[in-house]
Amino acid sequence: MTGRLAKLRSFIESGPTALVEVAEAKGSTPRERGTWMLVSAKGIFGTIGGGQLEFMAIARAREMLGGLSPLEEEMSPQATEAVGAAARDTTKRPRTAATTPPGGSAATLPSRGRGARLSIPLGPEIGQCCGGFVELSIRLVDEDLTSALLQKAAKEEAKLPHVYIFGGGHVGHALGAAFALLPVHATVVETRAEALEDIAGTIPTRLTPVPEEVIPAAPPGSAFIVLTHDHALDFLITAEALKREDAAYVGMIGSKTKKATFRSWYFKTAGGTERAFSRLVSPIGGDAVKDKRPAVIAALAAAEVMIALASFAERNDTASTAGARH
């Protein structure tokens, strides 16, 4: 069980819990249909977008759980009044196709049991200016719903992209900390045991004398970030990564001079091609910000990788949809 799944189970087992789902989202909204969060008497797990919308959902969920919400004092008077106006008891109301998210996002979750709906326009009356409309479904979590939530979360985790960070130096440590907060499976790969000490606790590590051998076994759509202590090793790993035409991102730390040196070596020694070389990102993080501190490089590179991962996923989804039509 992953860290997030363990936290989810622990949260549910800590006491009575309510599930809040975005059942319908129209126009400009903080989160898309199918987004969910859990609410207990003292805490929350996840988010549906924050702001007054979330305050209202938490207050209504805790009302259903039988307790008064400490957030009620933080809500605007308009939002507090809107909680009562928006809530509709749906104990006997069947779930309809119109409020079922696409792609099975919430359709896999049981809809039995007592529930409520909040229909909320995101306008000035609740202190938000998104301009859209959200309908929330709130249900008490029972044994069946717990099982469904854990299964759903496990499937979502299994679909997360993989990021491989080759090198546990200062930037490698900073990247580990950055990716620990992001929805990816990140792994730091190193040849030196001491370099893996103090890596962010939630990031798996792999110690191997031949780091480039990790690449062929990586799932399609993976990202490879190369920043070891040895330029020759960087070149070997990068050349291997560029063989993966299904990689979402291949990046190597360094300067324009290092990239030019790699290019010469890549064509003469590694049998590289212009097409493959054109996919290399180097230096990582771009050169718009002239700041070489590890944490800054890591922040810029992490953003760059997340954009590449999203772009790769979008291209694959488009290709899959087009293939299905034929």
Q: Encode pLDDT of 298-313 as tens digits.
A: 999 999 999 999 999 9
198: left (phi over 0), alpha (psi -120 to 50) or beta: left
- Confirm whether 55 is domain-assigned: yes
Give the global pTM. 0.78
- Distance CA(164)–CA(185), nearest Å, equals 8
- The whole domain housing 95 covers 14-157
- Confirm whether 7 is domain-assigned: no
For 287, residues 6+ apart whose C-beta sits below 8 A from its C-beta are none
For residue 95, how far is the Cα from the chain centroid? Answer: 28
Chosen domain end from 105, 132, 157: 157
Positive/negative CA dihedral, 102, 105, 108, 113: negative
- Confirm whether 1 is domain-assigned: no
pLDDT of residue 131: 67
- Confirm whether 228 is domain-assigned: yes
- 199 shares a domain with 135: no
- Distance CA(216)–CA(183), nearest Å, equals 23
Chosen domain end from 125, 157, 189: 157
pLDDT tens-place string over residues 56-89:
899 999 999 985 444 444 444 454 455 455 544 4
Chosen domain end from 108, 138, 157: 157
- Distance CA(62)–CA(140), nearest Å, equals 10
- 117 shares a domain with 192: no
Q: What's 279's domain CATH number?
A: 3.40.50.720
Query: What's the total number of domains in the chain?
Result: 2
- 224 shares a domain with 166: yes
Q: What share of the chain is helix, strand, coil (3-state, %, to 5)?
A: 45, 20, 35
- Distance CA(301)–CA(285), nearest Å, equals 4
- With beta carbons less than 8 A apart as the criterion, state whether 29 and 56 touch: no
DSSP summary character for residue 126: G
